[in-house]
Chain A
């Protein structure tokens, strides 16, 4: 019989267990403090340039390049944030950019899902070369096709008798074919979804189209949200395209508008930084609200 240990022994065992638990809790607590400390330190270095941007936006013109740098403006110029909207039609820029970004994002996300599904789920003749081709288009630098692209849209417009230059069409239409980078990303997710899931749905009478939206998309929600966020950021920050295609100031996007603060003789740094700060806010809000799709899950435990 080995079941009952002598009483003092059991007490000792229990005491040690409690001590070990305490010790563990202490260690966990220590580790957590260390973790927060490290995280905050790095976070601080991430934030410093932004702090710089925000304090500059509040400085009087003469203080911008003062040495030593002023961290807290002695007399914060809050009116710069109002002046941004007075100096340029920035409200209009925000509206333009919001509409343009929404259109591109909707097109890129929805169509990329469909295309990625086609590549990930099926084996078909020509799959490999077609996919490689798609990848290669990512590698060609966009800066070099901008002039041929512009000529193309100008000529198409001329031929059809419609104005395409100075409109958003050349910026939005190509997005309706999806975006190769997003297709690549989703492809990597879709194809790791086990075949059984699809088959179960198929046996329940769902077609491939329905399986995409009822099985694949819900199972890849974080991945879909990721491309939505990336697409939003990319379009919101797009510069060269809107700059080239849009001529009228009232059609400008936020990014193009920002550069109007840099002029012939001097750059209006406080206003430029105030406007840049404002331009970042929509993306921060979007990212913050999208957080719930990246909840720490099963995975966290595995690697903690």
Chain B
């Protein structure tokens, strides 16, 4: 059987040399397409060539370190010395390690609050900034600004802003006669502080939503309006369903991001262990407590936990099926 896609790769001639196919040729290729769709013995899909670069680079540069960390999770490895075999000892210790579970609890609480809030905030900002208002570029740039500054700089800035004595927030509160709390020094206020920092940076997520909003066809909205749908109805029944792929992307990345929270927590800290997010705890165990083996074990357990949570999200979404019709077989 002839290859149905003779010019799949490399590129077909481009530019001036390209000519429009004759009607006959079109008919032939349509037949080829039809043949391609029919059940038959297949050549390997060209997809493998397209996805190969990532997997090759992964195998070359990332696989060995990853396997090394997996092996190290079975050892006692003080980083600066040689590892000694520990079998599953790290994992059994982990099960009884109150600090690990406390960090997980801190991280989960942060995620449960900040992921939905952050998504809602970013979506709202994107929708408001997806219109023809005056000063649009300026607004967008300002709202995106927090995402531009790196995690460490954000931490430094916020440490000042939240400083109980010299800080901006308590200064403002004092001006209206309110004694502000010790944001990062009072355990009860640590997570609210982090949520505030996360919301402040939520504008960074606006970009992906702006892109998705661009994809929502205008006529659908108009059709809905003609049928008397209000703003909320249009949002709920037209816009959001069409943005599903990007909402899904942001949800998954939001969950992963919350679990992997590190940079600002590294600088900000927080009283009573309330700022001791999981990644921070792992990092400290590895580099400050000289227990890289144990920290590796934690990271792999961490991976399984994140995987379980995102797996649930996948399970209750139509991730694998919603675009079925658009694939080549």
Contact = CB atoms under 8 A, between A and B. Distances in A.
B18 A205 contact: yes
A125 B42 CA distance: 11
B62 to A, nearest CB: 7
Interface stretch (B95-103, B184-192, B204-212): B204-212
6 contacts: A47-B142, A69-B168, A135-B252, A137-B66, A139-B310, A255-B150
B168 A49 contact: yes
B8 A47 contact: no
Which secondary structure dominates chain B's binding surface? helix
A237 B326 contact: no
Given A122-B327, A148-B68, A148-B72, A111 B53 contact: yes
A207 B7 contact: yes
Contacts of A119: 47, 50-51
B151 A237 contact: yes
Contacts of B210: 222, 294
Interface of B: 5, 7-12, 14, 18, 20-21, 25-26, 29-30, 33, 44-51, 53-58, 60-62, 64-66, 68-69, 72, 79, 127-128, 130-137, 139-153, 156-158, 160-161, 165-166, 168, 171, 200, 203, 207-208, 210-211, 213-222, 224, 231, 234-235, 238-239, 245-246, 248-249, 252-253, 256, 259-260, 262, 279, 282-283, 286, 292, 295-296, 299, 302-303, 306-307, 310, 320, 323, 325-329
A303 B234 contact: yes
A204 B286 contact: no
B53 A139 contact: no
A217 to B, nearest CB: 13
Contact of A291 (B10, B68, B137, B283): B137
Contacts of A222: 210-211, 214
Nearest to B223: A302
A303 B216 contact: yes
A115 B66 contact: no
Q: Which of A43, A49, A149, A205 has the most CB of B within 10 A?
A: A49
Nearest to A68: B171
Contacts of B5: 207-208
Contacts of A298: 214, 216-219
Contact of A209 (B11, B127, B149): B11
Nearest to A119: B51
A35 B29 CA distance: 54
Contacts of B57: 111, 173-174, 176-178
A44 to B, nearest CB: 9
A189 interface: yes
Contact of B327 (A49, A123, A202, A255): A123
A267 B116 CA distance: 37
Nearest to B211: A222
A121 B327 contact: yes
Contacts of A206: 12
Contacts of B203: 46
Given A198-B328, A239-B150, A294-B207, 18 more contacts: A47-B142, A111-B54, A123-B329, A134-B54, A140-B299, A145-B66, A178-B54, A188-B248, A191-B323, A191-B326, A203-B29, A204-B20, A207-B5, A280-B148, A298-B214, A299-B216, A299-B239, A301-B222
Task: Please name the 8 residue pairs, one residue from A and one from B, whose CB atoms are nearest each other, closest first.
Answer: A177-B57, A302-B221, A118-B50, A298-B218, A237-B150, A122-B47, A148-B65, A188-B245
A170 to B, nearest CB: 8
B256 A288 contact: no
Contacts of A42: 143
A183 B54 contact: yes
A203 B28 CA distance: 9
Contact of A43 (B10, B62, B142, B151): B142
B128 A141 contact: no
A115 B256 contact: no
B310 A143 contact: no
Contacts of A52: 157, 160-161, 168
A149 B258 CA distance: 24
Interface string A107-123: 00001101101111111
A236 to B, nearest CB: 8
Given A119-B51, A173-B61, A205 B328 contact: no
Nearest to B59: A177
Contacts of A226: 207-208, 211
A151 B69 CA distance: 11
Contact of A139 (B20, B131, B238, B306): B306
B253 A181 contact: yes
